[in-house]
Amino acid sequence: MGTYLNPGNNGFARIRNDLYVVKSGLIGLINESIDTPRCLTCVSRPRRFGKSFAAKMLCAYYDKTCDSSALFDDLIVAGDKRYSEYINKFDVIYLDMTNIMGEEKNEIVPYIRQSVTEELVSAYPDLKVNKESFSTTLINTVELTGNKFIMIIDEWDAPIREVPAIQREYLEFLRMLFKSSGTTDRIFAAAYMTGILPIKKDGSQSAISDFEEFTMVKPRQFGKYVGFTEEEVINLCNDYDGDFAKMKQWYDGYGFRGVPSVYNPNSVMKALRYNDFDSYWTQTSAAESLMGYISLDFDGLSRTVAELIGGVEVKVDTKNFANDLVTFRNRDDVLTLLIHLGYLAYDEETQRVRIPNEEIRLEFARTVREVRRDETIRRVRESDQLIADTVHMDGEAVARQIEKIHGEEAENGKPELRFASFGYRKVQPSGSTFLNDEQALRSVIKRAYFSYEDEYLKFEELPAGDGCADIVYFPKKDSMLPALVIELKWNKSAEGAIEQIKDRRYPDAIKGYGGDILLVGISYDRDAPVGKRKHECVIEKYYP
C-alpha cells in the first residue's frame, strides 16, 4: 500500500464506520466508462459535499492490492453488472492535490512525477523508468503488468485556486496525461477528477477538453451523487430521530433535473450528530470569502444580492464564466462562481439562481452587513428602517419606501417585474400572457424587506383560515419583534387588504404564537398615470 499508488481501502472503511449515506451507485457510472472514449470524468461540486468521500470509495473499489468485497457486497453497486469484473482489479494512482500542496507548494508537478515514479519502482522493481518522460514510465508499467491504471485526482483545482503562478505548468502536465488519445488510451482504463471548479477554460474551450464534465450547473446523471437526496435524508431522520422539517428548511434547496431536492451532506450529518441546526458548512469550509465576491463593483450586483436575500430568484448567464476565482467580467460571472461554491442554487430550466436554504441565507445576511460599498450600505439601512417603520406601525413611511423600490425595479426593467400596471405583459413559455401585478409587488416586498433575516423567518403563500397569507414574517426564537402578516393588493385599497386578512383568518397560520401580530395591507393604484401610482399601507395590531 502506497501514498499515491494503490492507497488501499482504509479511508473508505473509516467512512463506513460512521454516519453517512454511501453513494456506491457512482461506481456504476465510472464502470460504464472504463475503456471507452468517455473514460475521463470530471465532477465538480462545493466544499463539504462529499468529494473526498467519493474519491476514497473509488480507491477502495478499484485498488488491486486489497480485498474490498466486505465493504461493497451489501451496497447498491454490488448489483452492477460489472461489479465483480472490476472490483480490486486495477493499479490506482490517487492524488489528493490539497495534501500534495502541503508537501510541496511551488514544485508540484516535479513532486508528483518523482513520488509516483518512486512508488512504481518499489512495487515493480523490474520497471524501466524514463527520467525524461513520465508518460513513458506509465506506459512501461502497463506493458510490464498488463494492467491499465485508474487515476483519481481529488481537489484537482486546488493549485489553480491557491497557487496561480503554477497554473500553466500544472495544466500542461494534465494535458500531457489526458489530451493525447494515443497516450491516454495506453495508460488509463479510466480517470476521475473532482474539485470545486469546472475545468479551467483556455479561451472559450476547456484546457483539458477530453474530459466529460459534470458541474453544479449541469450535473446530468451525477446529480443524485452531488449531495443527499430527500429520500436519503428522510431515512436518516427516521434512523437517528432527526427533525425532517427543520432539516429541509436548513439544508435543502439545491436541485437538478430529475433530482428536485438535494441537501448539504456535511451539514445534515452534523445536525444529526449534534442534535443542533446551525451553519456548519459555512463555519467549517475553507471556501473563499463570500464578502470578497459580493463586494465586487459590477453594475446591479448590490441590487441582485438584496433580491436574493429577500427571496427573489435572479436570471443568470453561466456560459462565459472562465472557471477560476479571478477572471470576472460582469455580475453573471460572480453569480456563476457562487453557484459552483454552493452559495447559490441554480435551476437549469429557468436559468435562475436563488439562495438555497436557511444555512446559506444566514451567511449572506451576516456578510452583507460587512460589505463596505456605499450602495450596499444604503440598501441595508433602508431595509432595516422599513422593518422598524412597520413594527412602529408607520404606514405612510412603509408606503413611501415600497413605492420607491417599486419605481426602481420598473426603471431597471427586470423581466419578472415588468407588469401590466407599468404597461407590460409577461409571456409564459407556452405563449400565453397574463397580468402579473400582485406577483410583481410580492417581488418588490421581498427585496424591500431583504434584511429580515436578523429577526424573522419568511413564509410565502402560507395556508391559513380560508386561504393563504401572501407573506408572513415570523419572529425567530430570540426576537422581540411582532409577527407580520402581509397582504398585497393592486387597484384595491389597503383597508380592503386588511379586511381580507381578517375575513379569511390568515393569522390562523401562526395559531399558538404567543406574541404580538401586526396585519399589514399594501396596495397601489394601477389606473393612475405612470409616475403617479401611489402606494398605500395600513397597519393594524391583531386582536384574536
DSSP code for 199: P
| Amino acid sitting at position 13 | A
pLDDT tens, residue by residue, 493-515? 999 999 999 999 999 988 888 89
DSSP H/E element including 259? strand 259-263
Residue 534 pLDDT: 82
Residue 435 pLDDT: 33
- Least Cα distance to 279 among 217, 334, 356 occurs for 356
Residue 411 pLDDT: 63
Residue 431 pLDDT: 33
Residue 48 pLDDT: 87
Tell me where in the chain the CATH 3.40.50.300 domain(s) lie: 10-214
- Per 3-state DSSP, the chain is made up of helix, strand and coil in percentages (nearest 5) of 45, 20, 35
Residue 71 pLDDT: 97
In terms of DSSP H, where are the helices of 147-208?
158-162, 167-178, 181-187
User: In the beta sheet, which residues pair with residue 345?
Assistant: 354
pLDDT tens, residue by residue, 188-228? 999 999 999 998 876 555 668 889 999 999 999 999 999 99
Question: CA distances (Å), 484 to each of 337, 452, 542, in order?
Answer: 35, 11, 10
Q: Tell me the three state secondary structure of residue 35.
A: coil
pLDDT tens, residue by residue, 36-54? 999 999 999 998 899 999 9
Residue 88 pLDDT: 98
Instruction: State the Cα–Cα distance between residues 385 and 427, nearest whole angstrom.
Output: 35
Instruction: State the Cα–Cα distance between residues 24 and 62, nearest whole angstrom.
Output: 13
DSSP H/E element including 202? strand 201-202
Longest Cα pair distance anywhere in the chain, in angstroms? 89
69 φ, ψ (degrees, to nearest 5): -60, -35
The domain made up of 10-214 has a fold known as: Rossmann fold (3.40.50)
Question: CA distances (Å), 120 to each of 64, 177, 211, 319, in order?
Answer: 14, 17, 25, 41
Instruction: State the Cα–Cα distance between residues 125 and 148, nearest whole angstrom.
Output: 18
Residue 432 pLDDT: 32
Place of cell 431515512: 235
Query: How many distinct helices (H) and strands (E) make up the chain?
Result: 23, 20
DSSP H/E element including 255? strand 254-256
Place of cell 434512523: 239
> What letters, b where the CB count within 10 A reaches 16 and e where it falls short, cover 47-60?
bbbbbbbbbbbbbb
Instruction: State the Cα–Cα distance between residues 497 and 521, nearest whole angstrom.
Output: 5
Residue 301 grid coordinates: 450586483
DSSP H/E element including 441? helix 437-448
Residue 421 pLDDT: 29
- Low-confidence residues of the chain, pLDDT below 70? 180-181, 202-207, 282-288, 410-438, 526-533
Instruction: State the Cα–Cα distance between residues 463 and 352, nearest whole angstrom.
Output: 26
Residue 119 grid coordinates: 512508488
Question: CA distances (Å), 351 to each of 318, 346, 414, 441, in order?
Answer: 8, 7, 15, 22
- Least Cα distance to 319 among 217, 207, 223, 210 occurs for 217
| Amino acid sitting at position 226 | V
The number of CA neighbours under 13 Å toward the Cβ of 475 is: 16
